[in-house]
Every structure is written in C-alpha cells, then in structure tokens.
A and B are shown apart, each in its own frame.
Chain A
Amino acid sequence: MARPTISEPHTNISQINSSKNLCLHCDVPCPSGSSFCCMGCETAYAVRGISDEKRKLYSPLASYDTEKNAYSLTLLVHGVHCASCIQLIEKTLLQEENVIDARINMSTGRLSFSWTGKAEQAERLAYKIENLGYKLTLMTKGTKEKDDYEKSLLYALAVSGFGMGNLMIISVALWSSSSETMGGFTRDLFHWISMVISLPVIIFSARPFLSSAWSVLKNRRTNMDVPISLGIILATVMSIVQTINRQEHIYFDSAVMLIFFLLIGRYFDAKARGKAKQNAQDLLNQLRGYATIIEEDNKVKHIPIEDITQNMVVSVAIGENIPADGHILEGETEIDTSLITGETIPVYATKGAEVFAGTLNLLKPILIKVSRKSEKTLLSQIVKLMEQAEQGQSYYVQIADRVARLYTPFVHIMGALAFIIWWGFLGMAWQPALMIAITVLIITCPCALALAVPIVQIIASGILMKKGTLLKSADALERLSEIDIAIFDKTGSLTLGKPILIKEDISEDIIRKALSLAVYSKHPLSKALLEAYPARELLKIEDFSEIAGKGLIGKINGETIKLGNRNWCDVEAESQNNRLELWLKISDSPTLPFYFNDDLRENAQQVIAQLEVKGIKSILLSGDRKIVVEETAKQVGIKEYYGEMTPEDKFKILESLKAKGHKILMVGDGLNDAPSLAAAHISMSPSTAVDIAQNTADIVFQSQSLSSVVEGYNISVRTQKLVKSNLILSIGYNIFAVPLAFMGYVTPLVASLAMSSSSLLVIFNSFRLYRKDK
C-alpha cells in the first residue's frame, strides 16, 4: 500500500539518529533506525493532519440514550492494527471532557463512544480520530441484523442446552424404570418437573424454527422447518396431555433434544455465512461516506457518495479515496492504483487522465469531473458481482433444498398415514398411534441431510484458515476441486510484488546521500532502498521536493542531489531492460543506477510441478514485458506463457478456454484481473494485494509461499469426497429408519436419539478431513 509523501522535512526526523527512539505516532519504544513501531502507526502518521475541509456529517446518526443522558455513536474505524492503536484512540477520546466512554471492538472494527452535550459534538470528536490518521466510515444496516440473528441463535442454544441436560437426568430415571417400581406419585412428580423445565425452554428455543416455518407456511410453501416445528409442537402438546391425565409416558426430552442438536447446526451455519457477508459489507463501506463537490457557483458542498452523478465536479484531498470514476479537471498528483492494476508503484496523473473510484490520491489535491454514476463505477460492479456470488449456492446445497421441498410434504403425509393406519385401521388407541406418527415425523427429520454439506465446508474452512487461506464463498471449495487449468498472473501472484534492491558496490558516502533523500518519500522503490541499507545516520537535506512522476531533489551541503527515473536524472534511453530501477545523480557526477528485483514466491516451482502431477496445466498471463515474462516462466516451469496482456486480452483467453469446456483457476492480484477473476471458474488472490482486491477473489491466501494453491486444491478434492459420503449416509439413514418407525418399532426417544446420532455420524465422518493423508 503506498502512502502520501510529506513535502516538508519533518523536524522529528532527527530521532532517526538516536539509538533509543519512540514511535513517532504512538510513543512506544521501537528499534533504532526506524521511526515507527509498526506499519499501522507509520500509515496513520503519514495520513494524519489532512485538511479538514472535507467535513463528514455524523451528528444525524448519533442516537440519544436517555439513561445515560448522552448521545452515542458507532462507526467503523479502519487502520487499527494492534493494541497501541486501540489505546491511542480510546485515550484520545476519553481525554475530552464531555466524553463518557469510548471503546473499540477489535474483532469487528467498530468504535463506539458517548458524550454529553450537543449531537454536533460528534463531528469534532470524529475529526480528532481522523486527524490521528484513522479512517472512519459509517456502518451499514446489514451488520447489525446479522449479529442479532447469530446472537438469538446462541441464546436459544444456551437455554435448550440447559433444558436438555437437566431433562435428561429425569428422563433416565423415567425410562429405566416403570411406574410399578417407582410408584405413581414419583412418576407424576417427574412428569411435572419435566414439564416445568421443558415448557419455557421449548417456547424460547424453538422460536427460530417456529418463526421460519410460520413465515414459509404463510406463503403456502414448506421448508425443512415445518416438520420439525410440527414434531416439536405435537410432542409437546401430547406430553402435556399425558402429564395432566397422569398417563404413562412423556416425550419432552425428545422435543428438547431435537431443538438442541438442530440449533447447533444452525448456529455454525449462520456463523459461516455471516463471515462471508461481512466482507461484502466492508467493501460497500468504502463506497459510503461523503464526498466534496464544487458547484457551478464555486460553492463547496458535501454529499453522500451515493448521490454523486455524472458531470459533477469532485474535489479529492490528499490521502482521500477517489469517490467516483472520472477524469482530472485540475491538478497533478500520484495515485495509488493498486486497486485497479495491482501495481504498488504510484501512477502519475495530470489533467485529462482517467481515474477510478476507490483509488487513493497520494500527492496533491485534485478536481475530478465525474464520468459515471456511483452505482456504475468499477468498484460498485465488483461489489455487485460479489453479492451475486454469495447468493449463489453450491450445487449440493441446491439439491438438498430441492429434496427438502419434496421431502417435507412426503414426511407429513407419512406421519398422517401412520396415524390413520394405526388408529383407524389397526385399532390402536389414539395416544400410541399419535406417538408413532410423531416418531415418523421426528426420525425423518432431514437435519443430517442439512448438516451434510455445511459441516464439511466449515471444517475445511477451519483447516485452510489455519494455513492462512480464507474462503470467501460457500461453494469455493466445490469449484476448486473441479479445475483442470490454472492461470497465474505474474506480479504479486507468482512474485512477491515487493521490490528488493540488488546490492552492488557503492561507497557509503553515496549510499548515505541517496538514503537521506529517499527517507522523505513513500514511493515503494525509495522504501526498498531504505530497507536495503538500514540503520545509517542520515544527512540534513535542504530544499527538498518530490515531483510527481519524476523523482526527488534536494541539496546536501550545497550539492544538488536527484533521485528518480531516467528522464529525471538525464540518462539516455537504453534499449529495453527488464529491471525496476532508480537513478541517483549527485551534482554533475555521472548517474548511478539502483536495480530492484521482484522475487518469485517461495515454492513457486514446486507448486507448478505438483499441479502438473495432479493433471492441472499452468499458464502464465502478465501485463509485463515479454522478455520478463519469458524469463519468469522458464524459472518456474510454466510452458505456456503470454506477455504484454491487457485485461481484455486476459479475459479473451479465459473465455476461449472456457468455451472449450475447461474449468479454470485464476490466481491473480489486483482489480485489473477482476474481470478474469470473476469469469474464471474459481479465483485465488494473495493477501499482499490491497484488501479490496482480495475481496473479489473467491479465495485469499496469506502466506508468502505459493503452496496454498496446492493445499487448497487437495483439501477441496477430499472435501468433495466427504460431502458425497455424508449425503449417502444421511439419505441411507432415512431410507432405513422411516419404515422402522412406520411399523411402530421405534419410540420417540429412540427416534430422537437415532436422528441425533445420524447427525453425529455425519459430523464424525467429516472429521476425517483432519487426517493428514494425501
């Protein structure tokens, strides 16, 4: 991620020279030679002090809490990396007189604070945080709803767990004995106690099922929750009747156990979905917030980004994300386009240049004329793609749903049939007949079927997460197992995307002069230079300035020093070479080059070889120069490679391969691969790419090595095998169990045990994924 530059030398730079120095941002001691304790502080420090002309409006969102007699507000805060950031933000807010509390939730990135006084204080407090360098965005409604649902499931789970445990104690007594041994009084006592425990528990914990069944029934359809709810209600009502009439058997335990086990499955499912949704929301948040527009009469207005329309003139400050697609009207600057191109090297842009929403303005404020509405920007389209990918469900889940739709009426009919046959035709008393019917309803509960797929996916996600790989969509694993071609991007995917200096013999004096200049720039090549030669005393620079698209210039002891690209340092253009470079010119001496390499990821060669063993062909597509691409392909062992590809070229190749029936894995970085990432059967992205770029890929991997690709593939294949075996188990169980229940060989207790154990069987089968075999 590139950062804005500071054009004035900072007085605190002298701290670099001291051996014991504190982080410039959060005052934590940090190693000598560095000015910051961590990247988070460095970023925040560079971005701070941005002019607050750009006023976001928070006070309308503040809510008034009558208990505390104060306003409170919750916002999303970005850029919080560690404990120091939390402490800094919370302390800053709490130091204000009228702030009552301030708390950051690190897991969700939310900042909540309350203050007494007017609602308008919100802005002042928020700016304090923004001035520290942390970006604040508004929360979307979606996040709250998801949380509430998960929370309600957890409450229901806790209560039903309590109920089940205590009920079991009584049930064991009831079922392992008979009323002759116990005596009628004891039996009735147990019945009443069971009822007292069960009724509140059932009413509270069955709500997710009951409400789901009710909402579906209102639309004259059924889902899996309908027979479950029916079974629960029937069992409960019948048991109540039995208790009151002092009859022999009750079945509260069946009902509660049913609820408990089902809730477990539901909760895990909700958690898995919730995570995927969260990422889409985070992306959307980038598009919310406010933008500054300049109207025809030169008046400055602040409007929500969503309200930006074509031909508006937008002013973008330093360090601000460009809010819409358009072209520059006024000003010249450097833009961090890693969102679009995947390249971390900033791009010089001047009047007339096209810019895209979501990219970061680094150097100077600019005016932009909007060419596309907010919904039509590249970023919005990516978000839409993501949301669609999310609604889309995996093939097996679709089958399970369809089966459920047909199955549930079938189950009800079976239950009713059982009752009618036993009571009407075979002359059984209505209670036992009803019990058989309930047994049929309970035992056919397709919860094993419902768990079959999600449980394996959850376990697989967990395993992959430990290895640093994140799955963004529910069916990512399924699609990954089907691939037969893998397409790799070069920069940032096969390579680390980080320039490293190729060190040559240069005198200390020259190194120091170059570093003294480079330290004021946030350009990735300058940073690479600084990293290559750490812990040196730097010289004082006068008349420093950084020119967009060219380089740095300054004076040391009267000598003019320039550090930058070829044109800047007056070097003659050579024939093409394949290196990243920086040239240093000291007064009139001849220029000196610095060359940088972009190293291949660890294991890249092995990964390509392993993929080939599994029958997957690898192709390299890159926008870089052909000689470079050829060299890289040879190093890594890829036989088919193409260089100088535009995003459209990549897309075309992908489409032609797809047309031939191939299933393609695309390993790419940055949104310039976005159309290809979306068109591929499945896509992976390394997490050195900017966060948003990660979000367009189906899978994101964190490690420095490329082995995540192979690991992901292996796990996906095994996952599919386990899913199939789970489905066979759960369907087989139903085929076996229903006739038994129908014929009256099963009591409801046994039914619920059987049903639960079928779920457990499916779960344990899924645990086989943890085994290390190949």
Chain B
Amino acid sequence: MDSLLFLIPIALCMGFFGLCAFLWTMKSGQYDDLDGASYRILMDDEDK
C-alpha cells in the first residue's frame, strides 16, 4: 500500500490538470460562439 502514497497524488494531479484545462477553455470563451466557429472554418482569408 505504500505505492498509494504517490499514486493517488499523481492521479489527482492529472485530474486537476484536466480540470484546469477545461476551465481555461471556458474562460477563454471557446464555447461562447459555437455557430460562428463552424462558419469561420469556411472563410478563406489570409490569416495565420
């Protein structure tokens, strides 16, 4: 059971990282305009 001492924190950290990533996507507004995003793919202008 000693392995639990580091396995559990590792698992938690990974999960926490996922949570942070999700919260970041929400904060940066990626879910705000799902319709517009689908149209932007089709636009063909010279942006990088």
Chain A: residues with CB nearer than 8 A to chain B? 82-83, 86-87, 91, 104-108, 151, 154-155, 158-159, 162, 165-166, 169-170, 183, 186, 189, 193, 197
Contacts and interface: CB of A to CB of B under 8 A. Distances in A.
A108 B43 contact: no
Q: Name B's interface SS.
A: helix
B4 A83 contact: no
B35 A151 contact: no
Given A87-B43, A189-B5, A197 B32 contact: no
B37 to A, nearest CB: 8
Given A162-B19, A166-B15, 18 more contacts: A83-B40, A83-B43, A86-B39, A91-B45, A104-B36, A105-B36, A106-B33, A106-B36, A107-B32, A107-B33, A107-B36, A108-B32, A155-B26, A158-B22, A159-B19, A162-B15, A189-B5, A193-B12
B28 to A, nearest CB: 12
A154 B31 CA distance: 11
Given A106-B36, A158-B22, A166 B12 contact: yes
Contacts of B40: 83, 86
Contacts of A183: 1
Contacts of A170: 8
A186 B26 contact: no
Given A83-B43, A166-B12, A186-B1, A108 B33 contact: yes
B36 A86 contact: yes
Q: Name A's interface SS.
A: helix
A162 B16 contact: yes
B7 to A, nearest CB: 11
Contacts, number: 56
Interface in B1-48: 1, 4-5, 8, 11-12, 15-16, 18-19, 22-23, 26, 32-36, 39-40, 42-43, 45
A166 B13 CA distance: 11
Contacts of A106: 33, 35-36, 39
A197 B15 CA distance: 11
Contacts of B22: 158
Contacts of A197: 12
A197 B9 CA distance: 11
A394 B44 CA distance: 48
A104 B35 CA distance: 11
22 contacts: A82-B39, A83-B39, A86-B40, A87-B45, A104-B36, A105-B32, A105-B33, A106-B33, A106-B35, A106-B36, A107-B35, A107-B36, A108-B33, A155-B23, A158-B22, A158-B26, A162-B15, A162-B16, A166-B12, A169-B11, A189-B4, A189-B8
Contacts of B35: 106-107
Identify the interface centre among A82, A86, A106, A186: most chain B CB within 10 Å of its CB. Answer: A106
B4 A186 contact: yes
B18 A162 contact: yes
Contacts of B18: 162
Nearest to B9: A193
Contacts of B26: 151, 154-155, 158
Given A91-B45, A108-B33, A158 B5 contact: no
A165 B4 contact: no
Contacts of A165: 15
A291 B35 CA distance: 33
Given A107-B32, A158-B19, A183-B1, A86 B43 contact: yes
